[in-house]
Structure 1
Amino acid sequence: MPRPAQRPPQNWSRHAALAGQAFRFGVVGTAGFVVDTATLYLALWLGAGLYGGRVLSYLAAASGNWALNRAWTFRAARRPGGHAGAARQWALFLLVNLVGFAVNYGTYAALVASWPLAAAHPVLAVAAGSLAGMTGNFVLSRRFVFRGA
């Protein structure tokens, strides 16, 4: 006896929306990686050093990521009103993403300290750190910063 055609799960559209958000978050993260790397190399050129330069580059990338995620990835989320509300959301984004930053920066620092190739080409360590922190940042941002997305 032939099996009846299976219907897609009822939550399919919700899963598709979540997958779309995750994809957009990844695209934004890729843009953040470019900003992070460019800012790091600029900071190194200005003499900031591998560790201090990375703090500056992370802040630049995270700020850009917040703006892009707010405008594109989580555009359906409730938005706090006015300039003060946006500033609070940006600060919350940075605060919540400290978990991802700890993983990101820890991975970067471990690679720069232990792998001569990463110390010579910090972009490798930046990439590894970015990937390591991205999943946690997505979950935490969606839950705490861009609620209702």
Structure 2
Amino acid sequence: MKVFLRFMLVGGTGFVVDAALLWLILHVTSIGPLPARLISSSCSMFVTWMLNRNFAFGPSDRKVLHEGAIYGGVTMIASMVNFTTYAVVLFLWPTTPPLLAMLIGSIVATSFSFTGYSRVVFR
């Protein structure tokens, strides 16, 4: 249970990084909500890897680059689930605020990413 709570704290931190960058990009540039989200989520992915590695799960027995590659693979699949949900929400309900669509996508992807990280990356 402690690991899951730490994972949720890390995820919350990643969400804040993602949301803050998304908001900043949308308000400072002319980039649209879909490419802006690709940028913000990529940055938050690195932050969460470091926090999951050092706080939630602990390092795996793999070399850092190997662990990072596996983490990246699991995260990319979770990000596809997240981004697809985000895009579908914006497509079906175009007046949805992008940050709300992001929250919905994050909730949907959470269980997938916890399972992948705990059973594949940091086993």
TM-score, normalisation: structure 1? 0.75
1:89 corresponds, among 63, 67, 82, to 67
1:60 to 29, 33, 43: 43
Q: Secondary structure, in 3 states, of the residue corresponding to 2:82? A: helix
* Residue in structure 2 matched with residue 137 of structure 1 by the alignment: 113
Q: Paired residues, what number?
A: 122
Higher radius of gyration, 1 or 2: 1
Residue 46 of structure 1 corresponds to which residue in structure 2?
29
Q: If each structure's helix is expressed as a fraction of its own residues, which one has the higher value?
A: 2
Q: Which one-letter code corresponds to 2:119 in the other structure?
A: R
Q: How does 1:5-16 map to 2 (within 5 A)?
A: none
Whole-angstrom CA distance in 2 between matches of 1:56 and 1:91: 19
Q: Percent identity?
A: 33
* TM superposition shift of 1:88: 2.9
- The C-alpha deviation readout for 1:83-119, integer Å capped at 9, x for no partner, is xx3233222211112221121011100111222332x
Q: CA deviation at 1:56?
A: 0.8
Q: Could you say what the CA RMSD is over the residues aligned between the two structures, in angstroms?
A: 1.5
**Structure 2 alignment gaps of length 5 or more:** none
Structure 1 residue runs without a partner (length 5+): 1-18
Between 35-44 and 25-34, report the one with greater CA deviation.
35-44
After TM superposition, list the pairs within 5 Å mapping 1:113-124 onto structure 2: 113-118=91-96, 121-124=97-100
Map Cα deviations across residues 49-94 of structure 1 (whole Å, 9 max, x no partner): 111111111111111111000011012x4343xxxx3233222211
What letter matches 1:111 in structure 2?
V
Letter in 2 for 1:20: K
